[in-house]
Amino acid sequence: MIDRPIEEVFAFIHDPRNDASRQTTLIESAQVDDEEPYGVGTQIRERRRFLGMQVEMTKEITEYEPSGPLRSRWSRAARADERALHARTCRAAARS
């Protein structure tokens, strides 16, 4: 039970500056254009640790209703070293 008004909880949960407090793989998170109000179209850039690598991703809010539903879409460009690691992993799996 969280002893706070739902609007306050919603505001905390959807502020990217608070994401690392509850997501263990997250290194940093920031709204791309923090001058714009948070809502549909907002982009959040994140850097995470995953399997010993750091991965950068951007999510865009696609549905937002204060104290209601929130949906987002993730995108990320693979770096050359990640593509090489993926290729080596696939080749190793094929040999087993």
pTM summary value: 0.63
Q: Is residue 86's pLDDT more than 60?
A: no
CB contact at 8 A, 43 and 59? yes
Long-range Cβ contact pairs of 22-25 (< 8 A, separation 24 or more): 25/49, 25/50
Enclosing domain of residue 46? 6-95
pLDDT, mean over the chain: 78
Does residue 31 belong to any structural domain of this protein? yes
Does residue 89 belong to any structural domain of this protein? yes
pLDDT in tens, 69-83: 777 777 765 454 454
pLDDT in tens, 2-11: 899 988 888 8
Structural domain count of the chain: 1
Q: Which amino acid is at 21?
A: S
What is the rounded distance in angstroms from the CA atom of residue 90 to the CA atom of residue 39?
Answer: 39
Does residue 36 belong to any structural domain of this protein? yes
